[in-house]
Amino acid sequence: MQCGAAFNVQSFMALIVHKYGGTSMGSTERIRNVAKRVAKWVRAGHQLVVVPSAMSGETNRLLGLAKEVSPEKPGPDALRELDAIAATGEQVSVGLLALALQAEGMASVSYGGWQVPIKTDSAFTKARIVSIDDTRVRADLAEGKVVIITGFQGIDPDGNVTTLGRGGSDTSAVAVAAAMKADECLIYTDVDGVYTTDPRIVPEARRLSTISFEEMLEMASLGSKVLQIRSVEFAGKYRVPLRVLSSFTPWDIPLDEESRSGTLITFEEDEKMEQAVVSGIAFNRDEAKITVMGVPDKPGIAYQILGPVADANIDIDVIIQNISHDGKTDFSFTVHRNDYAKTLDLLTNTVAPATGAAQVMGDPKICKVSIVGIGMRSHVGVASTMFRTLSEEGINIQMISTSEIKTSVVIDEKYMELAVRALHKAFDLDAA
Ligand code: ASP
Ligand code: MG
């Protein structure tokens, strides 16, 4: 089997969605390069829908302006305006790209999310896509036009512009590909694919030519920043063939070479001939640990501790409850570091008095390191290799959590790089 070939580029008139990230759209010169690359695909006989991000730095700039005007934490009314402001970055991108394509001699038309329309719910700054009407887009494609659609944004039932959360253009592209049953969705970005781990930490990290959708989902949720997690969920739900590839290869490389580059996210597990047990190492420095000590070990205690945390809209990740001594137990969990102070405060002032806990302690200087691989389903001893490797490096494990295809440990933040490097080596992921 040809490795990673999801569709045949030679086949006439495939429907392809391209997504270009902010760096790829970062200057007018880069936008002209994007136009040339898109034109190459169209000239080979394919229909193209392109979903670009805002030019790099633009969304931050726009949200920075908003903050200058209104430094307080945004209330419900302000969130609507933040979306109206942030969505303009993509509006500029689509217009510029359509112009650049026209300058290349390609018929092209741009649409904002509201014009397609891409309908979302009303959760400003983190809206979810509800439906996409592709009638207009299909008509344009049939007329031979390249259709450019804004990433990151949509329209709610009341006609308000919404955005999908930072990094949301990935999700827009995958959703468009799903709605149109595209043959493939290509995510052009500033890295050339998905790596076994972050090459900035482990120079020996290798690009994976394929990764299973489930592994990608774990990697994205565990801290790999290549794709927005929602885009991966979408791809899984609608089985959209997805490829992550570089927009920095010369635009004129042969099309079949380009269409095999990067990393293909696959749904067929057996497509991987040589299945590594562990495919990648993910890490995340964004968490903090909270421990509640000496709580009575009785039914309902977990709910009494974590219920108020959930009610305060704080997400909880890893949880451990110890075995009890003299009817008392300790309870630890992690939250996002941004929620650390709030959670500590809530537990100290509200939960501890209510439960009779002896003490509440916290540690924001932790990190989570995870090994991911569908091979873990069929191999034993994978977690023990992880624990042995960490112990050989003298790294203490504070918490452990597992699922079918991943094992995560919480360790002291200062050992993160050492842990990632040692595990990368121990699981034979270093480049030969
Ligand atoms: N421009 C938006 C952001 O910076 C969406 C995206 O690029 O995916 O988050
Ligand atoms: Mg991105």
pLDDT tens for each residue of 312-330 = 989 999 999 888 888 899 9
**Ligand 2 center–CA 343 separation, angstroms:** 29
- Tell whether the model's pLDDT for residue 243 goes beyond 90: yes
In the structure, ligand 2 is a single-atom ion and the residues with CB under 5 Å from it are 21, 167
- Tell whether the model's pLDDT for residue 309 goes beyond 50: yes
**Ligand 1 center–CA 125 separation, angstroms:** 11
**DSSP conformational letter for 254:** -
Residues 6+ apart with CB under 8 A from 207: 192, 193, 194, 195, 262, 263
The reported pLDDT for the residue numbered 224 is 77
* Nearest atom in ligand 1 to 166's CA: 9
Q: What is the mean pLDDT of residues 283-305?
A: 92
CB count within 10 Å of CB 286 equals: 13
Q: What is the mean pLDDT of residues 59-68?
A: 97
More confident of the two residues 269 and 319:
319
Residues 6+ apart with CB under 8 A from 326: none
**DSSP conformational letter for 376:** G
Q: What is the per-residue pLDDT across 356-414, written as a single tens digit (0 to 9) for each?
A: 999 999 999 999 999 999 989 888 899 999 999 999 999 999 999 999 999 999 999 99
**Ligand 2 center–CA 271 separation, angstroms:** 27
CB count within 10 Å of CB 74 equals: 16
- By CB atoms closer than 10 A (0-12, 13-18, 19+), residue 319 is middle
- Does the beta carbon of 152 lie inside 6 Å of ligand 1? yes
CB count within 10 Å of CB 64 equals: 10
For residue 117, say if its preceding peptide bond is cis, omega within 30 degrees of 0.
yes
What is the spatial distance between Cα 387 and Cα 408, in angstroms, rounded to a whole number?
10
- Tell whether the model's pLDDT for residue 108 goes beyond 80: yes
Q: How far is CA 266 from CA 168, 181, 335, in A?
A: 21, 16, 31
Residue with tokens 């570091």: 337
Residue 58 main-chain phi, psi, to 5 deg: -70, -45
- Tell whether the model's pLDDT for residue 4 goes beyond 60: no
Residues in the chain: 432
Indicate which residue's Cα is closest to atom 5 of ligand 1.
Answer: 167
The reported pLDDT for the residue numbered 220 is 87
The reported pLDDT for the residue numbered 7 is 59
What is the spatial distance between Cα 34 and Cα 21, in angstroms, rounded to a whole number?
11
Cross-sheet strand order for the sheet of 129-132:
129-132, 118-120, 153-155, 161-163
The reported pLDDT for the residue numbered 161 is 98
- Tell whether the model's pLDDT for residue 423 goes beyond 90: yes
Q: How far is CA 154 from CA 21, 131, 159, 382, in A?
A: 18, 10, 9, 43
5 — pLDDT class (breaks 50, 70, 90): very low
Q: What is the mean pLDDT of residues 36-56?
A: 97
**Ligand 1 center–CA 23 separation, angstroms:** 10
81 — pLDDT class (breaks 50, 70, 90): very high
Beta bridge partners of 407: 371, 402
62 — pLDDT class (breaks 50, 70, 90): very high
What is the spatial distance between Cα 294 and Cα 330, in angstroms, rounded to a whole number?
6
- Does the beta carbon of 168 lie inside 6 Å of ligand 1? yes
126 — pLDDT class (breaks 50, 70, 90): very high
Question: In the chain, what percentage of residues exceed pLDDT 90?
Answer: 82
The reported pLDDT for the residue numbered 139 is 98
- Does the beta carbon of 231 lie inside 6 Å of ligand 1? no
* Nearest atom in ligand 1 to 169's CA: 8
The reported pLDDT for the residue numbered 2 is 37
What are the CB-based long-range contacts (under 8 Å, 24+) for 273-276?
A: 273/1, 273/3, 275/374, 275/375, 276/373, 276/375, 276/427, 276/428, 276/429
The segment(s) of the chain belonging to CATH 3.40.1160.10 are: 15-191+226-268
**DSSP conformational letter for 394:** T
- Does the beta carbon of 398 lie inside 6 Å of ligand 1? no
The reported pLDDT for the residue numbered 271 is 53
What is the spatial distance between Cα 62 and Cα 65, in angstroms, rounded to a whole number?
5
Q: Are 206 and 194 in contact (CB under 8 A)?
A: no
Q: Are 51 and 234 in contact (CB under 8 A)?
A: no
CB count within 10 Å of CB 311 equals: 9
**Ligand 1 center–CA 166 separation, angstroms:** 5
Kindly compute the dihedral angle of the four CA atoms of residues 290, 291, 292, 295, in this order, to the nearest 10 degrees.
Answer: 140
The reported pLDDT for the residue numbered 269 is 62
Cross-sheet strand order for the sheet of 328-336:
316-321, 328-336, 287-296, 359-363
The segment(s) of the chain belonging to CATH 3.30.2130.10 are: 280-426
- Does the beta carbon of 333 lie inside 6 Å of ligand 1? no
Indicate which residue's Cα is closest to atom 9 of ligand 1.
Answer: 166
Q: Are 164 and 128 in contact (CB under 8 A)?
A: yes
**Ligand 1 center–CA 260 separation, angstroms:** 26
* Nearest atom in ligand 1 to 89's CA: 1
What is the spatial distance between Cα 19 and Cα 184, in angstroms, rounded to a whole number?
11
- Tell whether the model's pLDDT for residue 194 goes beyond 60: yes
Q: What is the CATH number of domain 280-426?
A: 3.30.2130.10
- Does the beta carbon of 53 lie inside 6 Å of ligand 1? yes
With the most atoms of ligand 1 within 8 angstroms of its CB, the residue from 25, 50, 53, 60 to mutate is: 53
- Does the beta carbon of 169 lie inside 6 Å of ligand 1? yes
**DSSP conformational letter for 120:** E
* Nearest atom in ligand 1 to 152's CA: 5
The reported pLDDT for the residue numbered 275 is 66
Q: What is the CA radius of gyration of the chain?
A: 24
What's the pTM value of the predicted model, to 2 decimals?
Answer: 0.87
The reported pLDDT for the residue numbered 112 is 98
Across 20-24, 31-35, 103-107, 217-221, least confident range: 217-221
What is the spatial distance between Cα 235 and Cα 230, in angstroms, rounded to a whole number?
9
CATH 3.65.10.10 for domain 15-191+226-268:
no
